[in-house]
Amino acid sequence: MNILEKIVTDKRREVLAKQSTLPVDFLKRSPLFQRPLNSLSEKIRSGSGIIAEFKRRSPSKSVINQNAVVADVVKAYKEAGVSGISVLGDTKYFGGALDDLIQARNSVTIPLLRKEFIIDEYQIYEAKAFGADAILLIAAVLKEKEITEFSKLAKILNLEVLLEIHNKEELKKADLTDINLVGVNNRNLKTFEVSLQTSKELSKLIPEGKVKISESGIGSVQAIDELKAYGFKGFLIGENFMKTDDPGKSAKEFLKQLKSE
SS (H, E, C) the chain: CCHHHHHHHHHHHHHHHHHHHCCHHHHCCCHHHHCCCCCHHHHHHHCCCEEEEECCEECCCEECCCCCCHHHHHHHHHHHCCCEEEEECCCCCCCCCHHHHHHHHHHCCCCEEEECCCCCHHHHHHHHHCCCCEEEEEHHHCCHHHHHHHHHHHHHCCCEEEEEECCHHHHHCCCCCCCCEEEEECECCCCCCECCHHHHHHHCCCCCCCEEEEECCCCCHHHHHHHHCCCCCEEEECHHHHCCCCHHHHHHHHHHHHHHC
For residue 223, pLDDT over 90 is answered with yes
Residue 3 has what pLDDT?
Answer: 81
pLDDT digits (tens, 9 = 90+) for 82-107: 999 999 999 998 989 999 999 999 99
Which residue among the candidates 11, 43, 55, 212 is catalytic per the annotation?
55
CATH number assigned to the domain covering 3-32+39-260:
3.20.20.70
Q: Phi first, then psi: what are they for 151, rounded to 5°?
A: -70, -35
Is 155 a known active-site residue? Answer: no
197-219 mean pLDDT: 96
Check if 53 is active-site: yes
Choosing from 43, 53, 83, 128, the catalytic residue is 53
Question: Cα angle at 164 between 204 and 133, to 5 degrees?
Answer: 115
55 is catalytic: yes
Confirm whether 164 is a catalytic residue: yes
The pLDDT score that the predictor gives to residue 73 is 97
Q: Buried (b) or exposed (e) across 33-63, using 16+ Cβ within 10 A? A: eeeeebbbbebbeebbbbbbbbbbbbebeee
Is 135 a residue whose pLDDT tops 90?
Answer: yes
pLDDT at 65: 85
Has residue 52 got a pLDDT over 80? yes
What band does 14 get if pLDDT is binned at 50, 70 and 90? very high
pLDDT on residue 188: 80
Q: What is the pTM of this model?
A: 0.95
- Decide if 200 is catalytic: no
Q: Which residues contact 236 (CB under 8 A, 6 or more apart)?
A: 51, 53, 86, 183, 213, 214, 215, 216, 218
Catalytic pick from 83, 151, 214, 216?
Answer: 216
* Per annotation, catalytic residue among 164, 170, 186, 240: 164
Domain coordinates of the chain in residue numbers?
A: 3-32+39-260
Q: What is the pLDDT of residue 88?
A: 95
Q: Per-residue confidence at 4, pLDDT binned at 50, 70, 90?
A: confident
Per the DSSP assignment, residues forming a β-bridge with 234 are 213
**Under a CB-based contact definition with an 8 Å cutoff, are residues 227 and 196 in contact?**
yes
pLDDT in the model for residue 63: 79
Report the pLDDT averaged over residues 195-221.
95
Q: Is the predicted pLDDT of residue 178 greater than 80, yes or no? A: yes
% residues pLDDT > 90 (the chain)? 85
